[in-house]
């Protein structure tokens, strides 16, 4: 199998499992709303990272599948709530109406709450069924990095910083937590489930940090160097929204330089995992070279 | 120690632990908002039920303390989100401005999300630290009954039923899940942590069902028999909102009858736990006899 076939396999595996988790049942509108957002065109970045990190340390990707689905649910809940009128007030995401537009605001709030709770239910089911403390450890890492030590606090500071000029330290805090939190958690949880040693877990924390920040710098770069046709969303939106980004704080050239350093660092660390890490290495390359 | 001293001890124990969990830290506004709602006058009903159920099966209440705090956080998150303009649009709760009024809507959404995520972080920390599968089992029960098999789906159906006349089956679904979910989960999780047998767990599921439904019927009864001075909120609000309640569907007399049957059934089942269950029995009495 070549890289693309392997990637599609992983995505298919995740989509199939997500479809089962979100099969219609009472109350139907809730499952409709949750399913609508989960199947609104996400690239399954975080689940793929989790499955590949599990493989990289010699584990079986199937073992990480329930957690990979839980992670995609947590990611989706955060998008649904971020899009709400009181937050970013976005009517469209990936060209489709956002959850509160397709349904209504009350159901969007509840669908987000539902996906977050369901994610923990799935993880706790796995912990109880397999009676394996590694799953509990992985779930704890995900909880921390979704909440008080990750995505949620990043989002709080991001919301607070709206229309205010912020310093580099605050920007890095937002990026490392808001975007980096779930990316790091996906890699580390996958590695823990795959049986990683303490050293390997620390390696994946660093890889996750690098990929998370690099991913966000790339977003900031594309916003000023791409076209709206390629990106599928308006360009120069950060400038229009008066938003401090890595590019506005450091300049385009430094942003490109730092992106390169972080990406290359991540790839070098992944290479230490040898043959088992090959897929993850190639996947990191596609993230580095992405044009939208 | 008499009953009131014991009750105050339990409440104090929970409040002290909650204060530590929610001690100020960066980002301060988030912890302020979470703490504001957690300390807005809640009676700690669910934590007290959890600690007492743990004791009733011979466990130590301290063992259930982290989960009791997590439960209060889940309860509080649900109140914050229920009060939002897109949901019940309530400006006051227990005489104090609701979270989105005291802060703003974005922070209220995030404070709710934060409390829910933090609750699972606390439970997963306990599971990992004590390496005891009973905690995982209790956390799974709480996840199910907060989400897809409990509070959340009850709330979805309640929101959907607004301004529509509903049948008894739907009303019981809402009561059993929306109110009953967390009450049942508190009792069952406490019992599991205390080392309950499978039979005892089933008993607590029944006790929880009875108390949950009875609690809600009492609310419906008080709305038409009490005064706004005693209740601390407007009476006849269900009638004004055209809301189907146990009283509108069954009449006041039947509601009082069924309340009595359910309450007495719960008390009888609790009595089976003998001396260890004495506090829980007295606590159930206070719930039965509550006037507001």
- The better pLDDT of the pair A93, B241 is held by A93
**Quick one: CA torsion of A260, A261, A266, A271, rounded to 10 degrees?**
90
Residue B120 · residue B139 · CB < 8 Å: yes
HSE on the CB side for B224, CA within 13 Å? 18
pLDDT band at A86 (very low <50, low <70, confident <90, very high): very high
- Tell me the pLDDT tens digit for each residue of A21-77: 999 999 999 999 999 999 999 999 999 999 999 999 999 999 999 999 999 999 999
- Tell me the pLDDT tens digit for each residue of A145-196: 999 999 999 999 999 998 888 999 999 999 999 999 999 999 999 999 999 9
In sequence order, the 6+-apart residues with CB closer than 8 A to the CB of B164 are: none
Cα dihedral across residues B105, B108, B114, B119: positive or negative: negative
Q: Is the per-residue pLDDT at A121 higher than 80? A: yes
Q: Is the per-residue pLDDT at B291 higher than 90? A: no
- Tell me the pLDDT tens digit for each residue of A99-115: 999 999 999 999 999 99
Chain A residues within an 8 Å CB radius of B133:
128, 131
Q: Is the per-residue pLDDT at B234 higher than 80? A: no
- The better pLDDT of the pair B290, A52 is held by A52
Portion of chain B with pLDDT greater than 90, in percent? 88
pTM of the entire predicted model: 0.97
| Residue contact B117–A81, C-beta within 8 A | no
Gap between the Cα atoms of B125 and B50, Å rounded: 18
The alpha carbon of residue B85 is apart from the nearest alpha carbon of chain A, in Å, by 9
pLDDT at residue number A15: 98
Q: Is the per-residue pLDDT at B27 higher than 80? A: yes
Domains and CATH numbers, chain B: 3-288 (1.10.600.10)
Q: Which of B76, B87, B113 to mutate to test the interface with A (most CBs of A within 10 A)?
A: B113
Establish if B89 touches chain A: CB-CB under 8 angstroms.
Answer: no
ipTM over 0.95: yes
Average pLDDT of every residue of chain A: 95
Task: State mean pLDDT over B16-45.
Answer: 97
pLDDT at residue number B227: 84
Closest C-alpha among B142, B246, B239 to residue B193: B142
Distance of CA A276 to the CA centre of its chain: 22
Task: State mean pLDDT over B280-289.
Answer: 94
pLDDT at residue number A262: 97
Gap between the Cα atoms of A264 and A258, Å rounded: 10
Burial A267-286 (b: 16+ CB within 10 A, else e): bebbeebeeebbbbbbbbee
- Tell me the pLDDT tens digit for each residue of B44-94: 999 999 999 999 999 999 999 999 999 999 999 999 999 999 999 999 998
| Residue contact A153–B124, C-beta within 8 A | no
pLDDT at residue number B72: 98
Q: How many other CB atoms sit within 10 Å of the CB of residue A97?
A: 15
pLDDT at residue number A243: 83
pLDDT at residue number B165: 87
Q: Is the per-residue pLDDT at B11 higher than 80? A: yes
Gap between the Cα atoms of A247 and A229, Å rounded: 21
Gap between the Cα atoms of A48 and A42, Å rounded: 12
Q: Is the per-residue pLDDT at A238 higher than 80? A: no
Establish if A118 touches chain B: CB-CB under 8 angstroms.
Answer: yes
**Omega prior to A27 cis, within 30 of 0:** yes
pLDDT at residue number B8: 97
pLDDT at residue number A19: 98
DSSP letters for A15-58: HHHHHHHT---SSHHHHHHHHHHHTSS---HHHHHHHHHHHHTT
User: CB pairs under 8 A, 24+ apart, for A20-25?
Assistant: A21/A69, A21/A73, A21/A118, A21/A122
Establish if A144 touches chain B: CB-CB under 8 angstroms.
Answer: yes
- Tell me the pLDDT tens digit for each residue of B240-275: 777 889 999 999 999 999 999 999 999 999 999 999
């Amino acid at each position: 199998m070549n890289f693309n076939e392997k990637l599609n396999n992983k995505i298919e595996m995740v989509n199939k499992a997500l479809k089962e988790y979100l099969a219609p049942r009472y109350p139907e509108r809730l499952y409709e709303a949750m399913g609508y957002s989960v199947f609104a065109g996400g690239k399954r970045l975080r689940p793929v990272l989790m499955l590949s990190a599990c493989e990289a340390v010699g584990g079986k990707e199937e073992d990480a599948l329930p957690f990979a689905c839980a992670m995609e649910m947590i990611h989706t809940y955060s998008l649904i709530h971020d899009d709400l009128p009181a937050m970013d007030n976005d009517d469209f995401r990936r060209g489709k109406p956002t959850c509160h537009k397709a349904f209504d605001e009350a159901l969007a709030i509840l669908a987000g709450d539902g996906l977050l709770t369901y994610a923990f239910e799935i993880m706790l089911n796995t912990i109880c069924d397999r009676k394996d403390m590694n799953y509990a450890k992985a779930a704890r890492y995900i909880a921390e990095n979704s909440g008080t030590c990750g995505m949620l606090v990043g989002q709080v500071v991001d919301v607070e910083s709206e229309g205010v000029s912020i310093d580099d330290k605050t920007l890095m805090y937002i990026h490392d937590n808001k975007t980096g939190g779930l990316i790091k958690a996906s890699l580390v949880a996958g590695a823990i489930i795959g049986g990683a040693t303490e050293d390997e877990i620390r390696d994946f924390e660093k890889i996750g940090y690098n990929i998370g920040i690099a991913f966000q710098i790339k977003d900031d770069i594309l916003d000023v160097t791409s076209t709206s046709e390629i990106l599928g969303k308006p360009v120069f939106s950060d400038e229009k929204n008066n938003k401090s980004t890595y590019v506005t704080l450091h300049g385009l050239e430094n942003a490109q330089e730092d992106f390169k350093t972080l990406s290359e660092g991540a790839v070098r660390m992944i290479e230490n995992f040898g043959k088992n890490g090959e897929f993850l290495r190639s996947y990191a390359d596609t993230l580095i070279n992405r044009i939208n």
